Amino acid sequence: MNVLILGSGGREHAFAWKIAQSSKLDSLFIAPGNAGTAEVGTNVNIEVNDFEAIKTFVIENKVNMVVVGPEDPLVNGVHDFFLADEKLKNIPVIGPKKDGAELEGSKEFSKKFMQKHGVPTARYQSFTKENLEEGYAFLETLKPPYVLKADGLAAGKGVLILEDLQEAKTELKNMVADAKFGAASTTVVIEEFLHGIELSVFVLTDGENYKILPSAKDYKRISEGDTGLNTGGMGAISPVPFADEAFLNKVEEQIVKPTINGLKADGIDYKGFIFIGLMNDKGSPSVVEYNVRMGDPETEVVIPRIKSDLLDLFEGVANRTLGEKTFEVDDRTATTVMLVSGGYPEAYEKGKIMTGFGAIENSIAFHAGTKQEGNNIVTSGGRVLALTSFGTDIKDALSKSFANAEKINFDKKYYRTDIGFDLV
C-alpha cells in the first residue's frame, strides 16, 4: 500500500514511524513533513490545504490511502474533496468529512450535539453581537470563573477563562463585536466552569465500530507547575493512572457510545479519530471538547503503545471492518517531553543547529519543528522535538526522556522538567 500522511509535526512523525513498521506498506509519503519524517518516508513539498496539488501527487504516485494529521484540512473538506472527484473517490481518507469535522470546527455545533445525544458536558449558551445583552445576563447567572469560547477555529487560542465578571463582559464584547479572534468569534459559547482533573481519551471509528485507544494527559502550560501561557503541549503521559477501569467504563458508556450513535443518528458517516477532552470530577467524566484528530503531543505517547498494525486498523476504518481487527496495547507507561524554542509560545527564533541525536538512548525522538538544511538538522518551529520513552512507571519512563532532553542541544532550548508532577 502507498500511504500519504498530511502534516508536519510530532504527531505526523509518530504516525509515520508507526506506519513504516507495517508489513502492508510499500511507500510512505509525508506532506510537508519534517526532518524526522524524512528518516522513515519521503517528504513531499505540498501544504496540507492545497487540495489540487495533493490530488496530482496522489494520482501520479498511486497513493492508496491518505491519513490526515491536523484539523484544518478536515474542516476545509479534504475528505469531501476526495469523495467528489471521480479519480479520488475510492481512495480512503482517514479523517472525517466536513460534517463530522464540525465537532471541532464549531464549539456551538459540538455543544448542541452533546446536548442532543445526552453526552455529559458543561451547561452553556451561545451569543452573537445581536444578543450581547443576553450574554451579559447569562454571565450574571454563572459563578466565576467564566469560560468564553470562540465558536470557530482560533489556533488553540480561542478560550478565555476569567475570574472577574466585568472583565468577562468586556471580553465577550471584544469577541463578538470587535472580532478579537476574527470570524472565529462571531459566535461565542459561554459555559459553566468544570472542576476536576483533565485527561484525554481517543477513539478510532469506522462510523459503526470503534476502538478506544490508550488514555493520555498532556501538559499545556509553558512553565513548571502548569503556569504561564498555553502552548500546544509540553509533554504527555499514557496511561493516566487515575483513569482506571471503572472510570473508563463510564467514559465508554456515557460518552463514547452516545457519541458514535449520535453521529450515526445525525447521518454523519465518521471515519477517523475522535479526541475527547475530558474533565474527571471525582470519578464523573464530562466532555470539555471534541477534536477530530489525534492530539499533539498525546500521539507521541499513545501511538507507540499500540502494538497492532496501524495500517491494518486504518484498512478496517476504510472498509468498515474495524470491529474484526485485533487491537493490542503495550502495558508499559510512555512519557514524552517536548523541547521547545526559547520564547515559545510567543516570538522565538528558528534555524538553530541541533546536535546530539547520535547520543540518544532508550527514547524515540519524534521531530515536531525541524528541517534538514544541508548536513544539519535545524529548528523550524516553536515545538521542536518530543522525546518519548517507555518505562515500568511514570518516573522510570520520564528519567529516560529527561536524560535525552539534556543530550540534544540547540541555542535557547527549553523544556519543562516537571511533566507528570501531579501524577507521581
Binding site partner of 122, from ligand AMP, ligand GLY, none, Cβ cut-off 5-8 A by kind: ligand AMP
Region of 383 on the Ramachandran plot (φ > 0 left; ψ -120 to 50 alpha; else beta)? beta
- Residues in region 315-334 near ligand GLY by CB under 6 A: none
Cα–Cα distance list, 325 to 120, 205, 330 (Å)? 29, 12, 16
Q: Indicate whether 300 belongs to the interface with ligand GLY (CB under 6 A).
A: no
- When binding is defined by CB under 6 A, the residue of 7, 41, 69, 295 that contacts ligand GLY is 295
Q: Indicate whether 197 belongs to the interface with ligand AMP (CB under 6 A).
A: no
Q: Indicate whether 423 belongs to the interface with ligand AMP (CB under 6 A).
A: no
Cis peptide before 241 (omega within 30 of 0): no
Cα–Cα distance between 400 and 385 in angstroms, integer?
Answer: 15
- Residues in region 278-337 near ligand AMP by CB under 6 A: 288-289
Handedness of CA 412, 15, 64, 210 (dihedral sign): negative
Q: Indicate whether 291 belongs to the interface with ligand GLY (CB under 6 A).
A: yes
Query: Residue 159 or residue 248: which is nearer to ligand AMP going by CB?
Result: 159
Cα–Cα distance between 187 and 179 in angstroms, integer?
Answer: 10
Q: Indicate whether 159 belongs to the interface with ligand AMP (CB under 6 A).
A: yes
Q: Which of 274, 259, 260 is nearest to 200 (CA)?
A: 274
Q: How many CB atoms lie within 10 A of CB 424?
A: 12
Q: How far is the CB of 291 from ligand GLY (least distance, A)?
A: 6
Q: Residue 390 contacts by C-beta under 8 Å, 6 or more apart in sequence?
A: 304, 330, 332, 333, 334, 397, 400
Contact of 56 with 276, CB cutoff 8 Å: no
Q: How far is the CB of 112 from ligand AMP (least distance, A)?
A: 15
Specify the 3-state DSSP secondary structure of 356: coil
Q: Indicate whether 77 belongs to the interface with ligand AMP (CB under 6 A).
A: no
Cα–Cα distance between 361 and 403 in angstroms, integer?
Answer: 9
* Span from 288-296, 300-308, 318-326, 391-399 in contact with ligand GLY (CB under 6 A): 288-296
Q: How far is the CB of 53 from ligand AMP (least distance, A)?
A: 30
Q: Indicate whether 100 belongs to the interface with ligand GLY (CB under 6 A).
A: no
Binding site partner of 191, from ligand AMP, ligand GLY, none, Cβ cut-off 5-8 A by kind: ligand AMP
Binding site partner of 147, from ligand AMP, ligand GLY, none, Cβ cut-off 5-8 A by kind: ligand AMP
Binding site partner of 171, from ligand GLY, ligand AMP, none, Cβ cut-off 5-8 A by kind: none
- When binding is defined by CB under 6 A, the residue of 12, 71, 72, 191 that contacts ligand AMP is 191
* Span from 35-43, 239-247, 292-300, 404-412 in contact with ligand GLY (CB under 6 A): 292-300
Phi, then psi, of 136 in degrees rounded to 5: -60, -45
- Residues in region 121-140 near ligand AMP by CB under 6 A: 122
> At how many degrees (to 10) do helices 107-116 and 98-105 cross?
100
Query: Residue 195 or residue 331: which is nearer to ligand AMP going by CB?
Result: 195
Cα–Cα distance between 175 and 165 in angstroms, integer?
Answer: 15
Contact of 213 with 328, CB cutoff 8 Å: no
Q: Indicate whether 298 belongs to the interface with ligand GLY (CB under 6 A).
A: yes
How many residues bind ligand GLY (CB under 6 A)? The answer is: 7
Q: Which of 263, 260, 366, 273 is nearest to 314 (CA)?
A: 273
Q: How far is the CB of 276 from ligand AMP (least distance, A)?
A: 11
Q: Indicate whether 71 belongs to the interface with ligand GLY (CB under 6 A).
A: no
- Which residue's entry shows cell 445525525? 266
Q: What is the DSSP string of 83-126?
A: HTSTTTTTS-EES--HHHHHHHH-HHHHHHHHHHTT--B--EEE
- Residues in region 219-248 near ligand GLY by CB under 6 A: 232-233
Q: Indicate whether 277 belongs to the interface with ligand AMP (CB under 6 A).
A: yes
How many residues bind ligand AMP (CB under 6 A)? The answer is: 11
Task: List residues near ligand GLY by CB under 6 A.
Answer: 218, 232-233, 291, 295-296, 298
Task: List residues near ligand AMP by CB under 6 A.
Answer: 122, 147, 149, 159, 191, 193-194, 198, 277, 288-289
